[in-house]
Amino acid sequence: MSGSFNRIIGATNAFKATGTGTFNHYGRKQLVGLQRRTRRL
Amino acid sequence: MPTTSTITLGATNSITNSGLAGVFLTDNLDFNPVGTTNFLAGGPGAASTVNVTGMSITGNTGDGLKVEGLTNTQNIVASSNTLTGASGTNGVEVIGGMGTANLTGNNITGFATGLAFVNSSGRDPDDEWQLQPHHRRH
């Protein structure tokens, strides 16, 4: 699977892998940015 | 259906209130919702691709897009779609080592899980998933 420029809204879990499934997500910078923005508010 | 031809679903199509999945592509059709024909009797489905482009798939109580490849490659190429779950389980579910999904510019809203991988692997090479706050990642 590959992807780009998608939006996931309102999910309890954005990504979930079960069995032998795996998902490597490199979007940590974007997530950190969201968390910092929330703290400042 | 077993076919080597590419199937394309476009903006003039829409799917609402689906139960199992808005679109389900599999090479392992082990149930028959209409008759008694055993689709697996002739072997697994051939390698297939389904393009889903600019389509609205809403009100799902199951998956938005589901692709299962156990023997032959089953590929969903989804671009610019709106996938909305009512009590939907997975926005996109990929099952098996031969199931693949290429996703670009989709909005996936209201599912318990955005992307689910069952015995399948995925990666985000471009750091381009946009996640709204209050989401957890597994």
**Residue B36 pLDDT:** 79
pLDDT at A38 exceeding the cut of 50: no
User: Domain range holding B48?
Assistant: 7-118
Give tens-digit pLDDT for B32-50. 777 777 778 888 989 999 9
Q: What is the mean pLDDT of chain B?
A: 86
Residue B89 is assigned to a structural domain of this protein? yes
Q: Which residues contact B5 (CB under 8 A, 6 or more apart)?
A: none
Which of B114, B78, B68, B125 has the alpha carbon at shortest distance from A8?
Answer: B114
Write out residues in chain B with pLDDT < 50, as ranges.
127, 135
Residue A15 distance to chain B (closest CA, Å): 5
pLDDT at A8 exceeding the cut of 80: yes
Please indicate whether, in this complex, the C-beta atoms of B114 and A15 are within 8 angstroms of each other. yes
Q: Quick one: pLDDT band at residue A36, thresholds 50, 70, 90?
A: very low
Q: Is B101 on the interface with A (CB under 8 A)?
A: yes
Classify residue B42 as exposed, middle or buried by CB count within 10 Å of its CB (0-12, 13-18, 19+).
exposed
Q: How far apart are CA B15 and CA B106, in angstroms?
A: 15
Residue B26: enclosing H or E segment and its boundaries? strand B21-26
Select the residue of B108, B112, B135 nearest A6 (Cβ to Cβ).
B108
Please indicate whether, in this complex, the C-beta atoms of B121 and A21 are within 8 angstroms of each other. yes
Residue B34 is assigned to a structural domain of this protein? yes
Q: Is B91 on the interface with A (CB under 8 A)?
A: yes
Residue A37 structure tokens: 């923005």
Residue B132 is assigned to a structural domain of this protein? no
Residue B67 is assigned to a structural domain of this protein? yes
Residue B48 is assigned to a structural domain of this protein? yes
Residue B97 is assigned to a structural domain of this protein? yes
Q: Which residue has the tokens 């082990």?
A: B30
8 A C-beta contact, residue A31 and residue B131: yes
DSSP code of B10? -
Domain count, chain B: 1
The pTM (predicted TM-score) of the whole model is 0.81
Please indicate whether, in this complex, the C-beta atoms of B123 and A11 are within 8 angstroms of each other. no
Residue B14 is assigned to a structural domain of this protein? yes
**Residue A32 pLDDT:** 42
- Chain A: residue whose CA lies nearest to B74: A1
Which of B60, B41, A39, B54 has the alpha carbon at shortest distance from B24?
Answer: B60
